[in-house]
Each structure stands twice: as C-alpha cells, then as structure tokens.
Chain A
C-alpha cells in the first residue's frame, strides 16, 4: 500500500492535503486497490458548501458504487474534470493525477482531527 506522507486521512479512506489555502482530496491507494478499476466519478458542483463527513460524490468501480466523504467542512473550488474522460488515473496515481476535489476549508481546525499518515497506514492494514 502506497501512502502520501504529506496527507492526512479519514477512516473512510479519503486523503486530504494542504495546497496553499485549499485542501485537495482523493481516495487512498488502499481504497483504489480494494475497489478495483474505477469507471466513473460523480462530482459535486463547484461552489457548494459541505460539512465534514457529508458525501461529496460517488465513485464507481467495475464492482460497486461507493460514497465519497468530505474530510473537512468546506466550499468546493474545483473538481478533477480530466477524470471524466479517463477515471483510470484514480487507479494509476491516486495521490497525484487521480485527485478528486479541491475545497476551501470553512473549519480549518478540523485538520488536526484527521488521521496522520502512519495512523492511517495502521488502520488500513488492519482492515
């Protein structure tokens, strides 16, 4: 399992990484591996404000559809449109080209409550 040491995580397998004033989010390597080939991503509208833990979209693999959860509260500033043409980037490069959304955090302190890379690694390994 690959881990991005600079990111923080939710137990539902989303990662969050600070990029200037925004947070970038995607799904972890453990998640893409267990979902299998990703074939579709449903994104939220840009400008939408969502609370931590709310679903921001759906990721569909060959096997199943899974909800995606906001790692922190925030307002969506961008979605990865490039995945519309080829969602396999989520499988190939989940921490890079396979990012899902960017958002402006509305409660920045929530960052401290997310799992560190090493804690997530232990959590994911146990499941």
Chain B
C-alpha cells in the first residue's frame, strides 16, 4: 500500500502488476478508484458556465453523453483533465484526486450566482470494470441493458441491487465501464462483481495502481502531472483535439496563440533498449546533448517494450528519430515511436 493523494492505495495486489495488466487486456480488471473526485454542477446558467471553464465542446451533449475535456488556467496550463457526464438537469464532472480541492475551489470561484457547485466525492464510490469481458460481466449484474450502451454514454440502473450511474468509459484502452454509486455499497458491489465473475467462469481480478498506470500509458492516455500539467500547453502534449476552438473558454488564447506559432516542444513516445526509462530521466541527442526529460516511463507488458514519454523539440519528434535516454548514468538507445503503443480496443 502507498499513500496517494491522501488515500492508501494498493500499488499491486498479490497477483503482481504485470499479470494484473495482462488480465485486464484478456478478460476483466476491477479498479477501486474511490480516490477520484466528482463535482456536480446544476442550476440556471450551469450549461454556459461549464462550457466556459472546460476546453471540450459540451453544449451539444445530450442527456447520457460523456466526454473527455481539459481544464486550463488563463495561461493555457493544464490544471486537470476531466470526464464530463451530461445528466438530466445537471453536469457530473470526474476529476483527479490530487486536483480535487483546487478544481472544486476554481469551479466555486467562477460560478455565477444561481449555479450550484457541489463536491460529491465523499458520498460517491467509484469502481472501473475494464477488459474485453467487462461488459458481459456487467450485463449479467445489471437490471438494464449495459451491453446496449454505446461508448461515451452513461445510463442509470441497478447492478446487483445497487443503484449506479454507469459510464461506458475508462482509462485502460479496453472496453468497459466506470461505476458511480453510494459509498456505503462499495464492498457489496466490489465483492459481488468478483463473486459473479467466478461463478460465471469469467476471469477477473482486482488491479492496483501500477497496472493502472501501465495500461493507460500503453494506450496513450495522459496522466495529470506527467504528460499534462500546469506548465504544459495542450498543443505541446497533442491535445488540441480536446479544445473546441469555436467557443470561448478559459485559456483559449494561449492555445490558439501556440497553435499559430507552433510549439517549441512536443510530446513523443520513445522505445528504449537496454534498461527501464522512468520519470525524470534525461533524453539526449546522439551527440550527448540534453534535449528533454522523460515525463513517464516503464515496462509495457502487452507490447513488451521499455518505453517513455518525453518532451523534445519538434524537429526531433518524428517517428524513427534516434535519441538516447540516460539510465543510471549510461545513455541507452531510444527511438521515437508513434503513440499509442497499444491502440485502444474501441478504436480498432
């Protein structure tokens, strides 16, 4: 167990991080992600308020739709990334644990009178069920048509008798869902889903933080504080697609300005030979000159690669560019590769 944003979180379960990663890719992984925060926004003017604070287009969202977005400061720095659910009469916004308090304060501070902003994190539990057989398992547990849901939508109903908001979303590159439900039902649903999987012969296991990280990393998803952060502009990290430049939003000018001039650094994936690259390791050009830093790096169990994400100058960002990553004082061969290393199941 390790402290993470004020929670005691399992880095791995006894299964081990590599096997946990592989189980999620081949069957079902259950993720206890109660640390994630949920902010609810409602009241007259809530739609325009949410639209103005977040980068994604949201005003076209219909009840049940779910969408990825960034949250920027005025300078265009990424203060968080979010999943936004449009529900009847309210917005349900999922935020990262470490940014929850700052996000909540930011929403509160900017909210016009009449708009209600509530932190729902304490009474809400969150579990992700991910993998090629996740929807099948949830379908067996639900009193409504989970398999009939399309990706990036949500629905409400009961799972094993527990009232849930189910989003067909996730952070692994696999199909699956994220469940929101009353915190007091956490044990019942967690154990109930594992028991149901065992009973129906569906391989399923609890997955710790280490495998959560390698799953999202392989699938090319960002982790706030690494590929995106307050000192990183979305254009540098390749997230202009998450910004709706046809509307006004906080930080828009910084995004359009950088898109116009072109960024001085870009996020790239590196395939490294001869060691495990990790966050903070130096990236060099073939002459030994420092050209960037790794923001994340690890062994990727499905693609069987040692890989890193790093920011480098645009002229070094082309796939095939030979670079070095310094591991324990020694420069090791690295080559720029196309991201993601693992194409998410729902994009194939």
Interface residues in chain A, defined as those with a beta carbon under 8 Å from any beta carbon in chain B:
36-37, 39-40, 42, 58, 60, 62-63, 65, 88, 91
Known contacts A65-B278, A65-B328: does B18 contact A40 (CB below 8 Å)?
no
Per a CB cutoff under 8 Å, which of A60, A62, A88, A91 touches B275?
A: A60
CB-CB under 8 A from B275, the residues of chain A are 40, 42, 58, 60
0/1 interface trace, chain B 50-72, chain A, CB 8 Å (1 if under): 00000000000000000000000
Known contacts A36-B11, A39-B299: does B276 contact A60 (CB below 8 Å)?
yes
CB-CB under 8 A from B17, the residues of chain A are 36-37, 62-63
Known contacts A60-B275, A62-B210, A63-B210: does B328 contact A40 (CB below 8 Å)?
no
Q: How far is the CA of A91 from the CA of B17 in the complex (A)?
A: 12
0/1 interface trace, chain B 222-251, chain A, CB 8 Å (1 if under): 000000000000000000000000000000
0/1 interface trace, chain B 309-346, chain A, CB 8 Å (1 if under): 00000000000000000001000000000000000000
CB-CB under 8 A from A63, the residues of chain B are 11, 17, 210
- Most chain-B Cβ atoms within 10 A of its Cβ — which of A37, A58, A88? A37
Extra contacts, 19 of them, besides A37-B16, A91-B16 (Cβ < 8 A), are: A36-B12, A36-B17, A36-B210, A37-B19, A39-B18, A39-B306, A40-B275, A40-B276, A42-B274, A42-B328, A58-B275, A58-B328, A60-B299, A62-B214, A62-B298, A63-B11, A63-B210, A65-B276, A88-B18
CB-CB under 8 A from B299, the residues of chain A are 39-40, 60, 62
Q: How far is the CA of A40 from the CA of B19 in the complex (A)?
A: 16
Closest to B210 in A: A62
Q: Can you list 10 residue pairs at the A/B interface with Cβ under 8 Å?
A: A36-B210, A37-B16, A37-B17, A37-B18, A39-B18, A39-B299, A58-B275, A62-B11, A63-B11, A63-B210
Q: How far is the CA of A124 from the CA of B295 in the complex (A)?
A: 35
Q: How far is the CA of A40 from the CA of B332 in the complex (A)?
A: 14
Q: How far is the CA of A63 from the CA of B12 in the complex (A)?
A: 10
Per a CB cutoff under 8 Å, which of A36, A39, A88, A91 touches B276?
A: A39
CB-CB under 8 A from A88, the residues of chain B are 18
Q: How far is the CA of A91 from the CA of B15 in the complex (A)?
A: 12
Known contacts A58-B328, A62-B17, A62-B298: does B276 contact A37 (CB below 8 Å)?
no
CB-CB under 8 A from A91, the residues of chain B are 16
CB proximity of B201 to chain A, nearest CB, Å: 26
Closest to B300 in A: A39
Contact B278 A36 (CB under 8 A): no
Q: How far is the CA of A79 from the CA of B336 in the complex (A)?
A: 30
CB-CB under 8 A from B278, the residues of chain A are 65
CB-CB under 8 A from A39, the residues of chain B are 18, 276, 299, 306
Known contacts A65-B276, A88-B18: does B12 contact A37 (CB below 8 Å)?
yes
Closest to A42 in B: B275
CB proximity of A51 to chain B, nearest CB, Å: 19
Q: How far is the CA of A102 from the CA of B18 in the complex (A)?
A: 28
CB-CB under 8 A from B298, the residues of chain A are 62
- Most chain-B Cβ atoms within 10 A of its Cβ — which of A42, A60, A62, A65? A62
Q: How far is the CA of A60 from the CA of B297 in the complex (A)?
A: 12
CB proximity of A42 to chain B, nearest CB, Å: 6
Q: How far is the CA of A60 from the CA of B12 in the complex (A)?
A: 16
0/1 interface trace, chain B 75-93, chain A, CB 8 Å (1 if under): 0000000000000000000
CB-CB under 8 A from A62, the residues of chain B are 11-12, 17-18, 210, 214, 298-299
- Most chain-B Cβ atoms within 10 A of its Cβ — which of A39, A63, A88, A91? A39
